[in-house]
Each structure stands twice: as C-alpha cells, then as structure tokens.
Structure 1
Amino acid sequence: MTIKEIKEALKARFICGEELQHRQVHCACGSDMMSDVLAFMKDRAVLLTGLCNPQVIRTAEMMDVVCIVFVRGKIPDETMIEMAKEREIALLSTGHRMFSACGILYEKGLRGGGPYHE
C-alpha cells in the first residue's frame, strides 16, 4: 500500500510530505504510547496516533516509520512539521478515531505483523 492509498482510504489530508505519496508502506501500528511503538514497529510502517508531541517524530525516525497519521483531526505544531520534513516523514490528518482508522486500513489489506508475545 502507498501513502497515497492510505490518504484516500482514510479521507485524510496531507500536512506535509505530499511528495512522498508514492512510498510503499508494509505494515501499520496504532498507538498513543510510544513505548508500544518501540516494541512493535517493523520496516516501512505507518503510525496512527492521537499523540501530538515531538516524541512521536523522534520515535518514528528511529523505527523507520515513513508516514504518521494523526487521528481525531489532530494537527501537529510547526516544530513537529519541520522535524518531519527534515526526516522525510509524511504527515496526514484524518477525522477518524483510532479504532476506525486502523480497521479501514486492515480492511484494505494492511497488516500490523504477528501477535505480540511477552
């Protein structure tokens, strides 16, 4: 799935990174807890979150996240947008809630990886 396909499926809008819309995304993670993201993330992922602080961008960079979708209409501030631009991470915003957004992407074939085991 591409970032453009994610945007269309979620009826989202680009905040930045529209030039990255043809990048492939291999899996997804939905979380507001960056510690869970660090435990989960795989290669070339999309992160769905309602958390709007610079730690989200820093975590995304470490985990090879190519796109962040802010749910519930959240919009990051200019500092976060600049951080994402510097790191070539696309930012989107959707009005969907986290559960719905994850479900839509799952329905379209995007998966989150295997089950979590402690």
Structure 2
Amino acid sequence: MTIQDILQLLPAELLTPGTRLDTQVHNACGSDMMSDVLAFVKNQAVLLTGLNNPQVVRTADMMDMVCIVFVRGKRPSPEVLELAEQRGIAVLATQRTMFSACGILYQAGLRGGGGHD
C-alpha cells in the first residue's frame, strides 16, 4: 500500500503537498498517547491520531514513520505542518474517526506489525 492509496481509501486530504505519495507502507498504529507510540510501536510507517501538536511529528520522526493521518477532521497548525515537511513526513487529514480509519486500512491490508492485530 502507498500513501496515495491511504489518501483514496479514507478519503483524506494531503496537507504536505511536497511529500512523496508513492512511498510504500505496510504497518500502522492509531493512538492519541505518544507515550504508547514510543513504548509499543515498532516498524510502523503510518500514525493515525487525533492529537494535534508538534510532539506528534517529533514522535513520528523518532519512530521513522513516513505518514501521519489526523482523524476526526483535525487540522494541524502551520507549525506542525512545517515541522513535518522538514522531516519528510506526509500529513493527511480525514473526517473519519480513528476507529473507522483504522478499520478501513486494516481491511485493505495494512497491519499493526506487533503480531497482535
């Protein structure tokens, strides 16, 4: 699956137009608690979250994620978008809830990667 596929499946809006949409992703996680992302997430390429602050981008960057999807219609600030662009992280926004977005991506083949899908 690619970031472009995620854009179409959710549907979502690309908020960082300079990022590559052909990047392959195989795993994802959904969380509003960045401490859980840091403690439990391994090899995840996509982060789905409703938390809207720069720490989300810093966490995604530390975990080598390539895409952040803001759920529930959340719109990140220009500061968050600039930070993501600097780090080469695609940022998407969808009106879907986290539960719904995760379910759609799981049904399309994206997995959690922790062996506890």
Q: Give the TM-score taking structure 1 as reference length.
A: 0.93
Pairwise CA RMSD: 1.4
Q: Distance in 1 between matches of 2:55 and 2:72?
A: 19
Aligned to 2:5: 5
| Corresponding residue of 2:33 | 33
- The offset of 1:20, in angstroms, is 1.0
Q: Flag the 1:90–1:18 CA change in 2: closer, same or farther, 3 A.
A: same
Q: Which runs of 4+ in 1 moved over 6 A?
A: none
Aligned equivalent of 1:60: 60
**How far 1:18 moved relative to its partner?**
5.0
1:33 alignment partner AA:
M
1:84 aligns with 2:84: yes
Identity %: 62
For 1:8 and 1:105, the matched residues in 2 are separated by 11
Query: Which residues of structure 1 form unaligned runs of 5+?
Result: none
- The 1:18/1:12 distance shift into structure 2, 3 A limit, reads farther
What code does the residue aligned with 1:5 have?
Answer: D
Higher alpha-carbon deviation: 13-22 or 31-40: 13-22
* Number of matched pairs: 116
Between 16-25 and 89-98, the greater mean CA deviation after superposition: 16-25
Separation in structure 1 between the aligned mates of residue 20 and residue 42 of structure 2, nearest angstrom? 19
Task: Return the structure number with greater strand share.
Answer: 1
Segments of 5+ residues of structure 2 without an aligned counterpart are none
